[in-house]
Amino acid sequence: MHCRKVLELLPKFIENDFSESERAAVEAHLKECEACRLEFEAMAQLVETLESLPPIGVPRSFKEAVMSALPHKSGKPPIPRSNGNGGPKCR
């Protein structure tokens, strides 16, 4: 397996999100290629650090703003809602 393909698969490798044959190929490559192994170690450390951080909440007004901006299946524009912070209000 080439380095480019291995680097593309590293996020899936870290998350255990692919087949056994892909796993075996990536593991074999990492045993032989120091550059890819170092990239894997750095990526795994970053993921571990990010996962150790406490979750960050978002204000309700942010969630409402995002949800109201999303397209709706009906094709009709969403009805504006008040977010309690001076945002759009129903007429």
CA distance 41 to 79: 48
Would you give the distance in Å from CA 81 to the centre of its chain?
29
| Tens digits of residue pLDDT in 13-62 | 888 888 888 889 999 999 999 999 999 999 999 999 999 999 888 888 98
* Cα dihedral 10, 14, 19, 25 sign: positive
- pLDDT(77) > 90: no
Query: How far lies 68's CA from each of 4, 56, 91, in Å?
Result: 40, 21, 16
Residues 64-76, mean pLDDT to the nearest whole number: 77
15, HSE (Cβ side, Cα atoms, 13 Å)? 8
